[in-house]
Amino acid sequence: MTVLLCLVFVALPRFDRHDTDFMETSLVGRGADGSVSLGDAPEYCNMVRFFRGEMGQQAMTTPFAYRPAVPFLASVLPIKDPMTALNVINLASLALAMLLLHGAMRASGYGFWSAVVGDLIFAISFPVFYYGTIGLVDPVAVTVIAGALYGLYRQRWGFVCGCVLVGAFVKETTVIVLPVAFMHLVVTRPPKGWLKLLAVVVAYVVPTILVRAVLDDLPSYEWRPSLGYLQQNLRVRALAAMGLSFGLPGLGFMLWLAGRRFRGVAMNPAVWAPMMMGVVCGIGLTAFAFVAAYADGRFLWLSSVFSIPFCLDVLGYFSKDRTIERDSVEIATR
């Protein structure tokens, strides 16, 4: 309960973009007219209005229209304001993500209190504060990834496929689960592993194609690299947000790589291989966004989630007895 309260305390200051004057002047971007930028939030709010029948399909634009799950859920809530409805879902999803990550840490070999430390690392973080409740869909994408990790380490492939299927309707960045699942199968080599991987791929590809087919009358959107995007993304605020989003987990990951003495439970290949794949893919998405989209810290938020086990190992090294419980390792390797 204390950890959950910490998460709520961190996420609430920006709820519905009720930023203080200091936040608006130092942390928030500006539009071309000098007004405070709401980023992608107005697009998702319009989608909520569309699902409520308040606006026509012309109100939706791509690629935001390819992400219908969260706006649809927000549209059925008995909350009039679309932004508030979105953020109620986002706050609830962050709490669920923390619980799922706790389960994933326990299943991958960390003891209860070590997993609680992982919960705190997730909850008391810059991305939860900055992106958690401002009308985006990224918190739900993080929840989907946390759920997929839980399913992987519990060997519940139906649950993994369900998470991936939902993720395809949430945001395309959840594709990161596919290479993570592939690496997990390579290391653990379960019976009929290729069938399980095929099921995960199908669970992502089919809804992705379906959404685009349904919305074929909207202008299609492709992420094409250009020098203009690179110049646009070389902003001090964006670079700072990326560094802060990578945060303590990212620092722990780099220390874990740099010194063998820091390596504990994550030395288990069933832990480090999939998690490292997730970190690398998150960094890769960030690099691609630099030249093909609007880049900020949200992509590195994904990397930071996968970095938590490495951070736990490093913190375990510096703890008083330098030990981390290993009561669930057999689950991750069977």
What integer is the mean pLDDT of 139-158? 96
**What average pLDDT does the chain have?**
89
- Look at residue 320 and tell me whether its pLDDT is greater than 60: no
Instruction: Report pLDDT for 288.
Output: 92
From the list 251, 243, 265, the residue with the least C-alpha distance to 326 is: 265
Could you report the per-residue pLDDT of 290-306, keeping only the tens digit for each?
898 888 889 899 999 99
Instruction: Report pLDDT for 295.
Output: 82
Instruction: Report pLDDT for 17.
Output: 87
- Look at residue 319 and tell me whether its pLDDT is greater than 80: no
Asked whether 308 and 121 are in contact (CB, 8 A), the reply is yes
Q: pTM of the full predicted structure?
A: 0.92
Instruction: Report pLDDT for 234.
Output: 85
* Six token digits for residue 94: 């962050």
Instruction: Report pLDDT for 101.
Output: 97
Q: Residue 64: count other Cβ atoms within 10 Å of its Cβ.
A: 18
Instruction: Report pLDDT for 326.
Output: 43
- Look at residue 323 and tell me whether its pLDDT is greater than 50: no
Instruction: Report pLDDT for 34.
Output: 54
As a whole number of angstroms, the distance between CA 249 and CA 307 comes to 5
Could you report the per-residue pLDDT of 64-116, keeping only the tens digit for each?
999 999 999 999 999 999 999 999 999 999 999 999 999 999 999 899 999 99
What integer is the mean pLDDT of 149-164? 96
* Six token digits for residue 86: 């979105």
Could you report the per-residue pLDDT of 173-194, keeping only the tens digit for each?
999 999 999 999 999 998 889 9
